Every structure is written in structure tokens, then in C-alpha cells.
Chains A and B, each alone.
Chain A
Amino acid sequence: MFPLQPKDIKKIRLSNGLTIMGLEYHKLPLAHITLMIKRGAERDPEGKEGLADLTAEMLTLGTEHRDSQRLALEMEKLGARYSASSGWDASFLEALGLSEDFKALTELLGDMLLRPIFAQHEMKQSQQRRISRLIQQRDQAEVIADEMIVQYLLTGTPYAHPTYGTISSLQEMREEDPKSFYLRHYCPKDTVVLAIGDLNFEEVREHIKGLLGEWKSEGASNDPLPTPVRPHGRRIIVVNRPDLTQSQIRLGSLGIERRDDRYIPFKVMNYIFGGGGFSSRLMQRVRAEKGYTYGITSSFKASHIAGPFVISTFTPTANTISVIEEILKLMEEFANGGIKTQELEEAKNYFIGSFPLKLETPGQMAREILELELYDIPFDYLSRYQEAVKGVTLEEINNLARSYLHPEDLIIVVVGRAEDFLEPLRNWGEVELIEYSEVTRVPPPSTPPNTHLPPGGHTVSPSPGGVLE
């Protein structure tokens, strides 16, 4: 099974454009089935952020043959787990169950995909559930910090909002919206079915063909995606929440696109800087040497566009300034001083050695394979990955560090008790202060030149005590 060879991943395309893929896995009597539609939350219409994700859920909430309760019951009486959601660039309908139930599971998924009815009462309930969850989520400072840094970094692109939407955008949705999103974006030529499990591919193919082979839908053509603009200069946003004893801190810029040839070197660079746990410079300095935090990490999201490249941490309020200072210093050292050969070798050995750990379960394999399929990357990526990592050079990493780690060009977001760190923060640039309770009334960030307006601000503000107005 390891390394995965491209020939192990069976793939055919039906005459209606639907792609069927399969990978046999015989260790356990399980079947993991994913339907991927290559359109996600970036297709949310302006003002209706979260629609792709809501549409995906609506597929599970009633078909011509089964109402929502019956769908849930038929799945769960098989002991299966299922989910439907939208991320960036794709939407997913998936199930994990016992392989003896493969036909029943795919029959249910196919019914959801082809015959959803978008019942009004289900739509209203889902809208309400989602709004309530977002209200509850507002107690989590880390979520607010994550949402804000992405919003500010990707302003002007359709990736600036949370995939699950905002309270106000959810309130804006109308009954017909999920259905029109479905008709516009769900079509066989952009849909991939992947089955991994204790299965025979010939049977999988014939069965899926029987279920989905007659599906006809053109789907609307996609508008081209705008390119995000990297921040120039520093912009500091403080969200004041006096009851917090710890600050949530984010510093971010943009990374690279998934199809970028430097994707693997970028991963290696990020590992050494902040993605590699205790092997990373951020963790080594800020946690191991200074004891300022339980965790600090850097991560990047590569999709059709260059997504956020963000340093995330939290620290007791009194350390807020010291932590930001250390991070800026580390960025500078990393970009100007370069990395050591030993750091590079260790990072490469990590990615080479741990590769089989990332391809152990059907779910893990599905994630890797679908990502390649989504971004049109040949499957031999999997068999050549370890060689590609081996080939990464010191110079490549140092070039990337110089190009992507600029302590002067950053968006900084701090959520915490502002009076304890506001003044010293001003030494690093202009600070915008926002009350936590008014996060909703944040005006949209100013628009960089040559891009269209970003989606509307955050969420509505509940009054103290948590009653929605």
C-alpha cells in the first residue's frame, strides 16, 4: 500500500463528465466515500456568505424520497457517520461506514446529491441553528482573532469571510438561495466520487455509474478569481475584551497558491520557522526558552489563491508586548540570517519519514488524493513526494524567507484586555481599537486599489447578557 503508486488510484470519467475514483483497502471492513464538488465557499454571493456550506447541509435535509429524519435514520442505523460541508474551492458530501453497506451508503449519498428538495422549514431551522452557533462562538476569542486576520488579509477576494458565514449574512438568506446555488454550481463535470475501502473497484464503478451516470446538469461557468494584495506597512487591530486573562495574537501576511512549484519548499520553510512544533524557531524561543505561552505556530493555507500565512499564539495579558516583540525579532532573524544546514536536514527528514504516517487511514488517503484532484496535480506527486522533499535546497528556503517574512508588512490582530498593552503597541504602528461587543460594527477594511469591495463586516452585536436583538 505504501508508497501509493498512481496506478493504485483507479480513475474513470463517465460520459456526463462525472469522475469516479477508487482505491482498495482491505485491512478493515470499512468504506470511506466522498463526493467532492469543485466549488466551495469562494462562490458565496456577496452578502450571502455561508451559502455554499448551507447548501451542502440542505442536501442532507430531505430528498424527493426521504425526509431529513429518514435520511439520518437510514445512515445511522448502518452505524455510518456522514457529513456535508463547504471549504475553500470545494464542497464535500461524505460517509464512513462498514464496507458491507457500501451500496446502501452510496445510494443514500446519491439520493442527496441528485434529488434534494430544499424544504423551506428545514432551511429556516438550519439558518436558525447556524445563527445560534455563531452567537455562542462569539465567546471564543480565538475564533474572533482567526476570523479577523483572514478578513483583513484577504479583503477584496471572495475568501475573506468564514466559510460558515456571518450572523448577518445568514439572516439575509432567502428560501430560494440554496436551490439556486445548487443549480448553478453542482454539476457532473465538476464532481468527483472517491471510494476507499474493502471494495472491488469494478463493482464500485458499475454501482456509481448506475446511480449517477444519468445525472445531467451544465452548471454555470465560474467567474475568474481576483488576486489578493499583500499587506504593505503594518496595520494593528486591537479588539478590547477586558474579561480575558490571556491575549489572542495573530500576525499575518499572504503565502502561496497550491499549484505553486514552491509548495514543498514553502512547507519546509514554514516547518523550520513556526510549523514544526518544538523543532520550530517560534516554539523554541517563545515557549521553550521564555515560557510565554503554551503554544505558538505558523501556518499557511494554499488554495486557488495565495491564502493567509499566519503566526498564531496566546499569552497571559502581561506578556502581550514581549511576545509580539519576540515574534518580530524572529521574523527578522529568519529572513536576514537564513537557516542552518542542520535545520534544513532535520526538516526534510521529518517530511520524508513522517509521510507514511499521513497516509495510514482511508480518511487520510482521501484527503491527500482529493487535494491533488482538486488542484489538478498529477497523482505521481504521492510517489515522488519524498524525492521532492530531499531535493529542497538551503538557497530555496532562504529566498522564500526573504520574500515572505517581512516584519514591516503585516496585519497584527490582538484580542484581549487592551488597557494593559495598548500604549506600547503604538510604537509599532497605527493601532485601530475596537470594542469586542462592537466587532459587528467594524467598518469593512479599506479597499486596496483595483479590487472590488469586500463582503460586509462581521456579525450583529448581541446586547449584554446574550439576548439577540
Chain B
Amino acid sequence: MITMQEIRLDFQRDRLANGLKILTLEDHSHPIVSYQVHFATGSRNERPGITGISHLFEHMMFRGSKELGPEEFARIIQANGGTLNAFTTVDNTTYFENLPADKLELAIRLEAERLENLRLTQENLDTEREVVRSERKLRVVNSPFGLLIEQLFAIAFDQHPYQWPVIGWDHDLRRLTLDDCLEYYRRGYAPNNAVVVVIGDFRTEEALTLIEKYYGHLKPQAPIDAVPAQEKPQRGERRSIYKKVSQLEAFFAGFHVPGIRDPEIFPLLVLSHILSQGRSSRFYLRFVKTGKAVEAKVEAEPPPFWPMDPGLLQVYAIAAPGVKIGELEKEIWDAIDEIKEGEFEEAELAKAKRGLEASFVMGLQSIFFKGLAGGLYEIKAGDWGMVNKLLKGYEGVTKEDVQRVAQKYLSEDNRTVVTLKPISPQENELLGPME
């Protein structure tokens, strides 16, 4: 039996001469391996005019290379018993294959091949552009709250690239050119801008040899530009209304909070947990259980998913039928004020810490998520080892810390609120098309 305190992820870090970073961690308990390639480029590395290119480019990586036809990459991995996918966030673009242990070389070879020999054609771009526009309609335009959340970030940030959505604005998706893609590829997809993770049932020496064999000859590129924009402290609340056809009223709010390297994220996560995690949390008991809100949540992604640069801690609520959104919003701010006043128990603090610690252990059940933890910390903070400091980070949080971060970050001046106002289909037509 191992105890929670003994849990550690001991990645080994190596680096090829061209700058490619490699994290390896053997685990022979199950005959599978996860191969992950994380690029340190996401929507924070875009600029107006090319928003959405990181994600569109992620799609292009499946559209063929010198060796492979469109979508053949996926077909081959699956035909070898693997599963695969990719995802783009504000900070990174990640490709992964989870495979039977004896297929590791296939993943290494194919990932290196498409990195080197991607076939970018106008025809592929045009097809994939439409696929992504369909994805945007699915995830954002026709989803109940997608456009509200876009508006929240667009208003809360006026300097930093977190102001635009990862999927991009539709007008940029329509105009992106092949040259934009080539430029993005050259800058972002260099070995010195990537971290490779191998985790599972494999031998480190063999994996390192294979990675050297397939990636070693790639040339490094000039480092990607730093993101210069820094959001200035918000000086006063920002508010807006979004009208759409909807059954219920809702609001989405955001408070500027520090990035992943800042230890302030631990008390912020504990605070979020106390407020809204689980059926014994304050928001659940006060708003959801009693039927005032369909949902009332504080949204904080625990590391390694917490954003790299200062981002938003989101608070949102969907009002139950007949409940006025303004009143619900006020009650939610009152509930947060109680924390600022220190009106909460040590037992709630202990429960939140235990909950966060247990969640961390639960997250280690699959090698895939263990790999992500190392890889994303390395990308976002330059140090995979921070993953082993998480349990201590939670453990150290005191009641005063929680009270202090509530006062410091969850203030009215630091707040942006977007309210959903339901309208009829007729009024919706008058307001013009959504995209």
C-alpha cells in the first residue's frame, strides 16, 4: 500500500542538441504507453487578423505529410490499436497517441515525420477551414453560453491575447491564408519550442535513442516571440448584456487572477472548492439545492490546466425559472463577501484541501493524464517538477490565505460581468446574424 504522501512523479528530463526537450517516466504496471508532443504555442501567440490559427493549424497537422495522405495519420495509429487526438488551448498545442506498449516507435516516427514534412495545400486549408467553422458553430454560436463567455473575455482583457477565443473570430477564420499557416508553422513548430513526453511501459534508453533517430536532424528555429502584452490592473467593474434566444437568464463573471507559477493559485483553488465544489459546498446548498439556480459555480481549472499568464477566475450562475438574475447575482456576491469577512469554518477549509488532494490522486489513474501533468507544467512554467509540489501547495493553505485572496481578487473593481437576456426568435432576427 502506498500512501498519498509518498506519491511522486519522477520524470527524467533530457534535451537534444536542437533544443527538443524530452520527459520520460517508466511505469510497467500496464502494457500501454502514452506519447505526447506539446508545443509552446497557443492562442496567446496569435495577433488580431490571425486569431484561431493555432487551433486551425492543429487540424492541418492531420491533413497529410510527405508520407501520409489526409487523415491517414489517425487511421494508421488506430489500425495499430492506438487512440489519438490533439487539443489547443490559450497556451499550448498538444498532440498525443496512447498505444499498446510495442507500438511506441510508430508514434515517434509519425509525429516526427509530420513535424518535418507537413503538406500544407490550399485545398486542405479550404476543407479544414469549413470544418473549423462548423466546430465554432457547435461549440460557440449554437451553444447556450458560448457567445457570452467570448464576450466576457473580450471585455475583461483589452491588452492581453486572452481576449480572443482559442477557436478564433469567424472573420479571421474566413480570411486566414496559406502564407499565414506557413509562417505559423515555421515559428511555432520547431524542436526547440516543443516538449515530448513518453510515459508507460517502455525503456527510457530505447525511447531516447528513437527520439534522437527521428528528431535529431531537425533544425532549431529562432525562438518564438515573447508575448509582450500585460493586462493592466482593472480599475472598476465592467458590465455588459448579451441578448439571445434562451429559456433562462444567466450571468458569467470573471476576476483577474495570477498565472500558474504564482503560489496564490492554491488559496484561490481552495476558495473555489469551498464555494462550489460538491453537494456540501456553499453555492450548492444555498442556490442549487434550494432551486434558485440551475447551476452556480466558481470555475477554476486546477494545474496543470490553470493558464500560464494571469487569467480569469470565472463565477457563473444560471437562474431557475422565475428567479430574477439580478437578485441571484447579488446573493452570490454576498456569499463571497462572507468569505472575505472570514465567516467560514476550519472544517470547510480541511474538506476543500482534502478534496483537492484526492482529486490530484484520482487524476493519476491514467498514464495519459500523468504525462499531461508533466508536459504542461514544463511548457507553462518551464519546470515539470512543480507537479510534485501540488500536494504541499494545497496543504499549506490557511484560513487567512483564503480570506486574503478573496479580498484581493474577488473585488468589484476587478470584476467583469456579462448577463444573458433572453429574447424572442422575432427579436433575435432583428438583431442580425450570429457568427
Contact = CB atoms under 8 A, between A and B. Distances in A.
Contacts of A125: 289-291
Contacts of A30: 361-362, 365
Contacts of B289: 68, 125, 129
Interface in B395-435: 422-425, 428-429, 433-435
Contacts of B249: 466
A122 to B, nearest CB: 9
Interface string A1-13: 1100000000000
Most buried by B among A97, A289, A357: A357
Interface residues of B, number: 86
A81 B351 CA distance: 12
Interface stretch (B39-47, B76-84, B178-186, B187-195): B76-84
A349 interface: yes
B83 A357 contact: yes
Contacts of A244: 142
Given A140-B144, A356-B100, A242 B425 contact: yes
Contacts of B133: 316
Interface stretch (B113-121, B122-130, B220-228): B122-130
B425 A243 contact: yes
Given A72-B279, A79-B354, A468-B322, A132 B435 contact: no
Given A2-B31, A244-B142, A288-B71, A72 B278 contact: yes
B86 to A, nearest CB: 12
Contacts of A468: 321-322
B3 A466 contact: no
Contact of B423 (A1, A141, A465): A465
Nearest to A278: B74
Interface stretch (A106-114, A150-158, A359-367): A359-367
Contacts of B31: 2, 356
Contacts of A289: 127
A136 B294 contact: yes
Interface stretch (B149-157, B240-248, B299-307, B327-335): B240-248
A245 B141 contact: yes
B80 A141 contact: no
A132 B71 contact: no
A466 B321 contact: yes
Given A99-B1, A125-B290, A245-B433, A279 B134 contact: no
Given A98-B358, A294-B131, A349 B80 contact: yes
Nearest to B133: A316
Contacts of A292: 130, 134
Contact of A245 (B277, B291, B434): B434
A128 B78 CA distance: 45
Given A139-B246, A349-B80, A464-B425, A77 B134 contact: no
Given A72-B280, A141-B142, A346-B78, A462 B365 contact: no
Given A69-B285, A98-B4, A132-B294, A360 B367 contact: yes
A135 B244 CA distance: 16
B350 A77 contact: yes
A389 B103 CA distance: 19
Contacts of B209: none
Report whether over half of chain B's contact residues are helix, strand or loop; otherwise say mixed.
Answer: mixed
Contacts of A361: 365-366
Given A28-B365, A294-B134, A360-B32, A279 B79 contact: yes
Interface residues of A, number: 82
B321 A73 contact: no
A246 B321 contact: no
Contacts of A290: 127
A28 B361 contact: yes
B71 to A, nearest CB: 4
Contacts of A464: 422-425
B13 interface: no
Interface string B229-255: 000000000000000111111000000
8 A-B pairs with least C-beta separation: A353-B81, A79-B358, A346-B79, A278-B74, A291-B127, A294-B135, A72-B279, A72-B280
Interface of A: 1-2, 26-30, 60, 68-69, 72-73, 75-81, 96-100, 125, 128-129, 132-133, 135-136, 138-141, 198, 242-246, 276-279, 283-284, 287-295, 314-316, 345-347, 349-357, 360-363, 437, 462, 464-468
Interface of B: 1-4, 7, 29-32, 62, 70-71, 74-75, 78-83, 98-100, 103, 126-135, 137-138, 141-144, 244-249, 277-281, 284-285, 288-291, 294, 318, 320-322, 347, 350-351, 354-359, 361-362, 364-367, 422-425, 428-429, 433-435
Given A136-B247, A245-B142, 8 more contacts: A79-B358, A98-B358, A100-B3, A125-B291, A287-B131, A350-B78, A356-B30, A361-B365
11 contacts: A1-B29, A76-B278, A76-B351, A76-B355, A79-B355, A198-B2, A291-B129, A352-B81, A354-B100, A462-B247, A466-B249
